[in-house]
Amino acid sequence: MLIIGLTGSIATGKSTVSSILSSPPYSLPIIDADLLARKVVEPGTAGYKAIVNYFGPNTPDLLLDDPATDTPQGQPLNRPALGRRVFGDTDDRKRDRQVLNGIIHPAIRWEVYKALIYHYLRGQWAVVLDVPLLFEAGMDLICGTVIVVGVHDPAVQMARLRARDSHLTAEDAENRVRSQGDIRAKAAQAEFRGTTTNRGVVVWNDSDKTELERAVKGAMASISASSPWWWAWTLLIAPPIGFGVAAWTLLVNFATQKGWEKKKREEKARL
CATH number where 69 lies: 3.40.50.300
CA distance 170 to 45: 34
Output the average pLDDT for the chain: 89
User: For residue 17, what pLDDT is reported?
Assistant: 96
Tell which of 90, 123, 156 closes a domain.
123
Are 135 and 222 in a shared domain?
yes
Are 91 and 135 in a shared domain?
no
Residues 151, 158: contact at Cβ < 8 Å?
no
Are 74 and 203 in a shared domain?
no
User: For residue 100, what pLDDT is reported?
Assistant: 92
Residues 6+ apart with CB under 8 A from 174: 158
CA distance 191 to 128: 19
User: For residue 67, what pLDDT is reported?
Assistant: 78
Are 166 and 210 in a shared domain?
yes
Of 105, 87, 104, the closest CA to residue 96 belongs to: 87
Residues in the chain predicted with pLDDT less than 70, given as ranges, are 179-181
Are 226 and 105 in a shared domain?
no
Boundaries of domain holding 61: 37-123
User: For residue 228, what pLDDT is reported?
Assistant: 85
User: For residue 187, what pLDDT is reported?
Assistant: 94
Are 112 and 190 in a shared domain?
no
Are 131 and 222 in a shared domain?
yes
User: For residue 177, what pLDDT is reported?
Assistant: 73
Residues 6+ apart with CB under 8 A from 48: 41, 42, 73, 74, 77
User: For residue 87, what pLDDT is reported?
Assistant: 84
CA distance 67 to 88: 31
User: For residue 134, what pLDDT is reported?
Assistant: 92
Q: How many domains does the chain have?
A: 2
Are 93 and 138 in a shared domain?
no
